[in-house]
Structure formats: structure tokens, C-alpha cells
Structure 1
Amino acid sequence: MGEYSKALSFYEKAFEIFQKSLPSNHPLLAISYNNIGSVYDSMGEFFKALSYYDKALEIDKKTLPSNHPSLIVSYNNIGLVYKKMGEYSKALLYYEKALEIIQKSLPSNHPLFASSYNNIGGVYDSMGEYSKALSYFQRALDIWQRVLPPTHPHIKSVKESIETVKEEIIKNS
């Protein structure tokens, strides 16, 4: 826990410097908000994390094109916190917004597609919607197998997720 408070202290100092020297909607402030939110997320302080992630998203939406990759980060961060809080419909909403930007701005085999599919699959898994989860996990695996080395941890992890949801589908049929 001591390391989190140290990280938070450094991020807050950086934020104070940026706040004094940059306009209120500067992208570096959004990055700082995301960094601080990430520490709170890691500490399990989800409402504080959401507050900072929302501030980052507000700046990004005001200052960046609607399909900018930084928005993907903000939407994914918020989606992750909602998933951890068990608010799955909100998590899906944010993960799907991230996926929309990915679809508009990146080639179809980009690894962010796989990450996005994996995130959405994880929410469906948590909701007990195993067939939907399986579909998304398989899409993630398909892309990761094309762009990552076979021993990459993402591939191992999504294969395990696929096996788990397959077992659930069999168990529930």
C-alpha cells in the first residue's frame, strides 16, 4: 500500500505543475487524471478512480478528434472500473464506445481490437452470458494469434477464458 501512496504523491505533484503551467483543457492534464485514477483503481477506490477518469475523458472529448486513441484509453479505464464494481451494463457501454473508435481508426488486425474484444468478453462472462463471451474471446484470440508470438501471455489468458466459458456452456446446457 505504501507504494500506491508514493505513486499518488508523485502523480499529484506532476498534476499540480501541469495545472499551474498549462491551460485547463491541455491533454497532459487528461493524462495526469488518468494516472491518478489508475492508482485509485489499483487501490480499490473505484469512485475516486471514476472521478479522475471522467475528468480525463471530459478534457479528451473537448480537445481531441472523436476517433483519437486517447479516448480509447479513457473509455477502457472507465469500463474496467464499472466491471470491477459489478455494473456490467455501464462497463459494456464504455467498452463498446472504445471499440467504435478502434473500428473507425485502426486496421482490423490491430491488437487493440483483440484487447477490446477480450474486455467485452470478460463482461459477458461475468454476466453469465457465456455464448456471447465465447464469441468475443474467440475474436480476440484470432487477432492475437496473428499479431503476437505464440507464447505471449495474452494468448494464454484468452485461451483459458475460452475454456472456462466453454465449460460453463456445457454445464448450463
Structure 2
Amino acid sequence: MTHIRIVPVLLTALLTGAVLFGGWFGYRHFAVEQPLAVTFAGIEGVTAYDPIVTDDRVTVEITLDGTVNLAEVYRNIREQAGSSLGGRELDLVIRQERNEKLEKIWSSALFTIAQAMENRRYADIPEAARKLEAAHSGLSVETEMDEYNVYLTLKLDGAVKYVVLPRQPAVLGVWPNA
């Protein structure tokens, strides 16, 4: 009967594990995280970013400086980060300080904006923004839209609230009774 030598087996397993996991972490750092860091460092208005990479998704928490056009930041990130994602989906999460006045103003308009989003009546959103500005002195609301999202930026007394509402395309399917 052959006797298995434990030291060479353990060394081989340890070396194999180190190569596999080291390669994975090296790939993730040099092929995904480092190019994303270069991308975010070059985008005006982004003051901080923290990427979290998983197998199918890259989630990046960003902090904006308050003077930036939100839609333009998203557009730049989509264009510049696309090659370094490696087929992963990109999720952006905006870190922002909570301001009670802005939260109260936003909650007062939430039903109108939610109804516009649900019914795909996106032209109602700038009108709701104008009504908010008229009702609240000093409030500035910027609205913009692209094929992916509706972007709102609320500014009041130096505080900023960013809102990104995803546009869900119409889902076509088979009706069960057709």
C-alpha cells in the first residue's frame, strides 16, 4: 500500500489556492478597480467613489460636489467606464447628506412625479418642478432625461438632493388569454 506524504500535498494545495485567489484578486484590482478609479478621478464633480465588484455587477457609491449636472455625470460614467466593466452591470449610488427641508419638499411632490413615471408622462415632471419652485422660495429644481433615467436636482440654501428615477421600458410579453 502506498503512503501519501502529507507535506507535499498540503504545499501543493496551498500553492494552488494562492495562485488562483491571487490571480482573481489581481485581475479584479488591475483590470476593473484601477481603470474605474482612473475613470472616476477624471469626471468633473465626482469628489469620492467606492467601487464594490461582484461577479455580475459593479456598484459604485459616489459623492458629488453639488455644482454638477447629474445627467452629464451619468453619461460620462457610462461612456468612460464601459470598457472596464467586463460585461458587468453598473449601479451608481449617490451618497448625500440628508436635509430635512429638501426631504419634506421632495415628499410633497412624490405622488405627482410617481404618477408621471408610472404613466410614462415624463413631460409632467418639469411642470411639477416649476410648481415646487413657485411654492418654495429659494428652491431650484433641475430636470433632465435620457433613454435610461430621469434626473432631478433639488437645491435649497446650499443643500442639494439628487434623485435618479429609472425609466422602465414597456415590457412586451404574451398574454395568457390571447
TM-score, normalisation: structure 2: 0.24
Structure with the larger helix share: 1
Greater strand fraction, Structure 1 or Structure 2: 2
Task: Work out which of the two has the higher radius of gyration on C-alpha atoms and give 1 or 2.
Answer: 2
